[in-house]
Structure 1
């Protein structure tokens, strides 16, 4: 079983160096390390260029966001390698030496699957809130000490393993998502073909600045514009779910709107309302085309 790791980076060179070193020190060999550079500054270019044949360097002419980066990385995996699996991660995702070993062990045992997701921890050892596993049974919360693999509804691109055969059928991540929700949509797309799983033995460290989830009601005002993509993209992938899932997705958006309207203590209330509503409106007209790679002959 051969594996390509895809790392998407943008101007976070110190963390990127740590991620690449961790991949090179994996107990199970990573056959190709594909680094997709979202038009980073000169220091990143110099470092990646100097690595030479140690990596496959894919530099983009503009910043296409995480979604565009993963689109290009998965395309490169499909068109330029013959590897069996692709292992997706951001440039602040640090695998442990046995992470890939544990993912592949489960993959071999399971056989068919849509995706495999790691147990993502923050720097203090607790779960990374941004990457909490989403079990198919939404009333069930997977405990931090769990050692049992469980079916998932979706997962994030923070240590995600996928099979070439699944990608050939579902296509590539959607570039137009830019940020937020591209991984949720993609794993739910894969999950319609085969079950996705949480693999608790396959741990990684997500070196976010703070261990917090995203919340349009409490996030700083300078970050509000990016929530446009969150709500626009939620409208798209929520509509792809079965009736009950689509209904629940819409209810959650309505609840966010009501909180932004009436919850006490919300600052910049008008701006928060505007970004939610603009994303929802755009989502009604958002119909991106799914691309497919040309498999390597």
Structure 2
């Protein structure tokens, strides 16, 4: 008997592409590719975008071609475009391969052997899915899966527990494990490379949540493989950062503001409060995680350059991939 035309389409692992962005971390990329080799089932393709690495990343990729079990597409960029540019290119390549599902990940994670099967089990129901991760030490990693839309910032106290449904609705995204259907990519376009780093995945996940029910599911599918200095706040942690991150955290608030304006959700008072809270959080990070007072100049520099973006008459959102 034929199935109903409205029945969910069963997940086909070969229709999925894992898209990885890497930069000068061949040792971490090796661990990730080893984990993909051990997956069951495996994706049809593995796209690797190399942000102009100067180490032996290319040699590492070549060493896996005959043993990973999936077709590898390796794209080395001429310049470092940041995580934002890398994921935009990785998404483009995966989309042009005809992939139905695109699974994005940084090079500092590894995939659990049944990771794709676990994500695929939810694919007939949802089109924007985030799985869970173990932290470097094996603990459960908490990700802020909801944002206060008008403020444009994550909600740090969103409940971490799951009910019997096994999922929670989200309005954010994280490129360390985003699992997204090509139908959504067609409608919202590629990730915006102008962010370079920071806020790009939150914005992309928010855009997806405006046209589909986006969810985080109670499935552990990734494990982080890089230790990051943290401040243990009890039920939450705050990670160390860098001067570059501090700059882009503040500068890219302007890109979020432009998206909010374009979509008619911009509230100057609430968004300004979100920017002030972001600035304050970075001061706390400097004092209590990194234990230093230098670095604030990068926050102010980011705010200054963000004003140029906010006034740019040529700025436009990323276009959809279909008319």
Same fold? TM cut 0.5: yes
| 2:99 is the counterpart of 1:83 | yes
| 2:275 is the counterpart of 1:253 | yes
Paired with 2:129 and 2:286, the residues of 1 have a C-alpha distance of: 40
Q: 2:146 aligns with which of 134, 153, 156?
A: 134
Unaligned runs of 5+ in 1: none
Paired with 1:264 and 1:191, the residues of 2 have a C-alpha distance of: 32
Seen in structure 2, the aligned counterparts of structure 1 residues 233 and 288 have a Cα distance that, compared at 3 Å, is: farther
| 2:204 is the counterpart of 1:186 | yes
1:18-37 aligned within 5 A:
18-37=31-50
Deviation at 1:269, TM superposition (A): 6.8
Give SS of 1:8's match.
strand
Tell me which residue corresponds to 1:228: 247
Q: 1:105 aligns with which of 121, 131, 139?
A: 121
Tell me which residue corresponds to 1:47: 60
1:208-223 aligned within 5 A:
208-210=226-228, 212=230, 223=242
The CA RMSD measured in Å over matched residues stands at 3.2
Q: TM-score, normalised by structure 2?
A: 0.76
Paired with 2:122 and 2:281, the residues of 1 have a C-alpha distance of: 42
Seen in structure 2, the aligned counterparts of structure 1 residues 256 and 66 have a Cα distance that, compared at 3 Å, is: closer
Paired with 2:181 and 2:285, the residues of 1 have a C-alpha distance of: 44
Q: 1:123 aligns with which of 116, 127, 136?
A: 136
Unaligned runs of 5+ in 2: 1-11, 150-154, 232-237
Paired with 1:263 and 1:158, the residues of 2 have a C-alpha distance of: 22
Tell me which residue corresponds to 2:8: none
Paired with 2:286 and 2:72, the residues of 1 have a C-alpha distance of: 51
Q: Is the 8 A contact 2:254 2:309 kept in 1?
A: yes
Deviation at 1:49, TM superposition (A): 2.8
1:147-296 aligned within 5 A:
148-210=166-228, 212=230, 223-241=242-260, 243=265, 247-257=269-279, 267-268=293-294, 271-285=297-311, 287-291=315-319
Q: Is the 8 A contact 1:146 1:200 kept in 2?
A: no
Tell me which residue corresponds to 2:77: 60
Q: Is the 8 A contact 1:231 1:283 kept in 2?
A: no
CA-to-aligned-CA distance 1:31-71 (integer Å, 9 cap, x gap): 10111111112411122134346411111111111111111
Deviation at 1:161, TM superposition (A): 0.5
Q: Is the 8 A contact 2:251 2:303 kept in 1?
A: no
Deviation at 1:120, TM superposition (A): 2.1
Seen in structure 2, the aligned counterparts of structure 1 residues 262 and 37 have a Cα distance that, compared at 3 Å, is: closer
Deviation at 1:75, TM superposition (A): 0.7
Report how many aligned residue pairs link the two structures: 284
Paired with 2:225 and 2:248, the residues of 1 have a C-alpha distance of: 23
Q: Is the 8 A contact 2:229 2:239 kept in 1?
A: no
Give SS of 2:133's match.
strand
Paired with 1:280 and 1:226, the residues of 2 have a C-alpha distance of: 14
Q: Is the 8 A contact 2:259 2:317 kept in 1?
A: no
Paired with 1:236 and 1:121, the residues of 2 have a C-alpha distance of: 31
